[in-house]
Structure 1
């Protein structure tokens, strides 16, 4: 499929990619900007879902480097975290590649509304207290299944997966928000790479708009790391709540 990349569309991709990189690094939901931007160009939903992963993967690499440079990337339980995430990501991306695109909207809407309710009614379920210590995945059945679901969801739809990862990592493993964000972008990068391989195999990635998007999301991710390191945790909680509501509205519309 050929798309006409006009200066207007290039500008839209660059702007939404920049904002998306910031939002995805400090919270999630940036794909609710980039997916519509890609579809505005006349790209089918399945191709937009696949092409969007190029930007998500590149911004994840930039954010991983940023958090690691500041010593905020926990590495002692990476194997335990990544195994269920990658299994879920593979299953989710295969599901997305073959299922009708009509499945994407209800999955996104139900998940975002459920998470918004949890953050509002029982925030301690997602956000650990200041004196809590982190847990290992080994022997933690709830964490394993939550990480598996987060991987499946990220492989399936991507949009809003940052919120799911925060709930899985912060909620079940009790990492503070900064380290949760660091692990979140590492996890997103891992299963996004798996999804990209599947979508490339299915020839669903449109590379030129994908690379334009990637360049701007990298800049946004670098800004997002700096904000994440300095933002007040209370502000982050409310920001996450607002962003999950925004993701719900985006899915509904």
Structure 2
């Protein structure tokens, strides 16, 4: 609605919506829209790029600002509707207003992120429910939200065994421990028998997950960002894991099998050409 106040007319056919969680920013999505806008500009279809407000563009300012600068340098004008602001690199007042709003947005996002993390940890420690519904290949997750007004039961916010996939996991364990099959050959046998392609790293991750013996941990991995804002998942040391709950009825293999597989994978890692 503020577009006319800025002297702009919005072409609805060229409107683009970027859907993101409140506390994240995906460079690839933003960059795709920025490139598309430049293409429209070079073809004479648009003269300006209009954002609803500053904070939707600055969830990760170190990634977004260079892209915005590139857009402005190409000749495309950039506006923010709520603030009635045109970003002009040659106007110190314009840049100062933009940076002030961007800084506020960064602080707001960080507060939301911290509150979300505290809430998730409280859910895990106090309610013994998984803080997130991260997928597990051999288990199904039953989502539960406190604001759903649904009375929680034994499965709420927890995992239950997927019978079909659990059957395959037991076969993998037998193939490796009894038949002496390598991980690569195990993946090939899975493909031949079921038509399902499993990458070796996925199979190792599944067979290394304590959920197979009924122990369900959180915070076993973490996501880090590089300088461009791209996300990368890394594994956390076992000492940093949080045991949310135990449920032996949801175990898929025996403790003996699980730790034998772990030992096998550790030997493979030590004997890998990368470590020799």
State the TM-score, normalizing by the size of structure 1.
0.25
Q: Considering only CA atoms, is the larger Rg found in Structure 1 or Structure 2?
A: 2
The structure in which a higher percent of residues are strand is: 2
The structure in which a higher percent of residues are helix is: 1
More relative contact order in 1 or in 2 (CA 8 Å, sep 6+)? 1
